Amino acid sequence: MKLAAGLFVVLLAFPAHSGDDQALQEALRKFNDDFTRPRAGNDERIAAIHTLAEHKSDRVVKVLSPSLARGSLQVRMAVAHELGSFQGVAAAAEALIVALKTYETAGRNTDGIRIHALRSLGQLKSKDAAADVEKLILDKSHWVQKAAIDAAGLIRVKSSIEPLIKALRRVEGPDGNGEIAVNPLLDELPPVTVGAIVKSAIVAQARPKSERDVLTEPILVSLKAITRATFANAKDWEGWWSKSKPTFKVPE
């Protein structure tokens, strides 16, 4: 009952007003009923998250964001994923940035949450998140690295260019021969909300892929997205950047 009580307090923080949208009020009530129902399983709770997330508002973010830090891993990942669709709602990016910092040293079992948080920040194109995203471009987890690389290409800020070039230089060298571990998103979430997410994960081939195989193309794609320049290797990118850095501005 602690979960139900906590959520009830969150909902009470948003009393009904005459101008409130009735559909949102009903969605919040239904979410409270479904999410906190005794013996509700992951599938039911994730379905409730998905349904409530159809309403894009600060109120919904404030109701969902506590579940970024409590509940099952699947529930936390579902919230991180859903917040990526809250374009124009500043609280969504703020909650995701807090989640990245919360799980910064939490170990491999939270990689799935960080990956979804990074993907969502990329979808939101949150420039406020750029520094936190850049720190993860060279994370110990290959899949967190990839999510950060992809997010940097969507956010598009100048400060991301050097970390991306550094990452390219690293995977072109001996470090790039390292085998990639199994993607932590595979089979982590039930199909009720995230069939597309699971399908988008890279499935291991008969021969294990190397870091170079998995990360080189995303790095090049993100560098091109930010700079509109095209080079094939770290040496050429480094040469271009040494000349361009003083006056470079991210093109529209």
Q: How far apart are CA 88 and CA 104, in angstroms?
A: 26
- For residue 183, the model assigns a pLDDT of 81
Domain parsing of the chain, residue ranges: 2-8+21-244
55-86 pLDDT, tens per residue?
999 999 999 999 999 889 999 999 999 999 99
Tokens of 159: 């400060």
Q: What's this model's pTM, rounded to 2 decimal places?
A: 0.84
- For residue 147, the model assigns a pLDDT of 97
Residues of the chain with pLDDT under 70: 1-20, 186-208
Class of domain 2-8+21-244: mainly alpha
- For residue 200, the model assigns a pLDDT of 45
- For residue 222, the model assigns a pLDDT of 98
- For residue 46, the model assigns a pLDDT of 94
Q: Which residues does residue 179 pair with via DSSP β-bridges, in sequence order? A: 210
- For residue 207, the model assigns a pLDDT of 54
Exposure string for 68-82, b = 16+ CB within 10 A, e = fewer: beebeebbbbbbbbb
